Amino acid sequence: MPNPFETLAHHKLAPVIALDDAAHAAPLAAALVAGGLPVAEVTFRTAAAEESIRTMAARGDLLVIAGTVLTAEQVDRAAHAGAVMVVSPGFSPKVVERCQKLGLPVCPGVATPTDLQAALDCGLGTMKFFPAEALGGVKTLKAISAPYASAVEGGVKFMPTGGVGPGNLLDYLALPSVVACGGSWMVAPKLYAGGDFAPVEAAVREAVTLAQSLD
Ligand SMILES: O=C[C@H](O)COP(=O)(O)O
Ligand SMILES: CC(=O)C(=O)O
């Protein structure tokens, strides 16, 4: 599997998934792959997260990221289940430390310059900007990142998440500091409420077309 950050930079999207039922993991993964987006950020917001990660990782053709990882114990469970990267809504030194100990790429959330510098102190160069829209969106991201352009080689990179959708995706992706955007719109439970995952595949395909339209 290539470096997860490179995969994210290629696809520009990280679908944020909260599964109540691990039985949905297989058809959801299939819809993502069929729609052209072999990336899944499965959040530890539900009890089904670990099993869902295991199911998706077993395919071998999908970048499986563990999301909403809040404790070192969840890092262990995510890694054991097959996640190849960890993200969090905020910056937790314990989560980052455990990931680094395991050699697992980690992308913590930052909302302030203080968070950002804490992540830099850990040697990290790519961070979530969360919750992106509620924090002021593109304007705030530009302002927060400006002082750190030369803090790491190539500049600090971000994965804005929270309130990103088809209406503002390209505004974020147009920023050179943005690697990819996280979002739940193309994997929202209402799309597969009837047990049919075709609407997910269609929404994923549309999101992929939009994200790639900047190239
Ligand atoms: O908590 C929010 C999710 O991580 C993603 O945000 P979203 O549902 O606004 O796309
Ligand atoms: C928001 C986010 O990235 C997370 O829950 O991990």
Structure tokens at 56: 């998706």
Q: What's the pLDDT tens digit per position in 75-120?
A: 999 999 999 999 999 999 999 999 999 999 999 999 999 999 999 9
Q: Is the pLDDT of residue 21 over 90?
A: yes
Nearest ligand 2 atom, CA 128: 3
Give the residue numbers annotated as catalytic, written as ranges: 41, 128
Select from 17, 19, 43 the residue to mutate for testing ligand 2; criterion: most ligand atoms less than 8 Å from CB: 43
User: Would you say 60 and 38 are in contact if contact means Cβ atoms under 8 Å apart?
Assistant: no
Structure tokens at 49: 């997260």
Measured distance CA(142)–CA(126) in Å, rounded:
15
Residue 211, pLDDT score: 97
User: Would you say 168 and 139 are in contact if contact means Cβ atoms under 8 Å apart?
Assistant: no
Q: What's the pLDDT tens digit per position in 120-157?
A: 999 999 999 999 999 999 999 999 999 998 999 989 99
Strand, coil or helix: what is 158? strand
Share of the chain above pLDDT 70, in %: 100
Q: Whose CA is nearest to atom 1 of ligand 2?
A: 89
What's 106's domain CATH number?
3.20.20.70
Domain count, the chain: 1
Average pLDDT over the chain reads: 97
pTM: 0.96
Nearest ligand 1 atom, CA 41: 4
Sole residue written with tokens 């995706």: 169
Share of the chain above pLDDT 90, in %: 96
The confidence band for 1, taking pLDDT boundaries of 50, 70 and 90, is low
Select from 8, 13, 16 the residue to mutate for testing ligand 2; criterion: most ligand atoms less than 8 Å from CB: 16
Supply the range of the domain harboring residue 103. Answer: 4-212
Q: How many A from CA of 109 to the centre of ligand 1?
A: 12
Q: Whose CA is nearest to atom 8 of ligand 1?
A: 184
Pocket of ligand 1 (CB under 6 A): 16, 161-164, 182-185
Mean per-residue pLDDT, 22-49 = 98
What contacts 172, CB < 8 A, 6 or more positions away? 132, 137, 138, 141, 160, 164, 178, 181
Backbone φ, ψ for residue 90 (5° rounding): -135, -175
Q: How many A from CA of 69 to the centre of ligand 1?
A: 14
Q: How many A from CA of 183 to the centre of ligand 1?
A: 5
The confidence band for 215, taking pLDDT boundaries of 50, 70 and 90, is confident
Task: Enter the ipTM.
Answer: 0.95
User: Would you say 118 and 91 are in contact if contact means Cβ atoms under 8 Å apart?
Assistant: yes
Which strand ranges, in their side-by-side order, compose the sheet holding 13-17? 106-107, 85-87, 63-67, 39-43, 13-17, 181-183
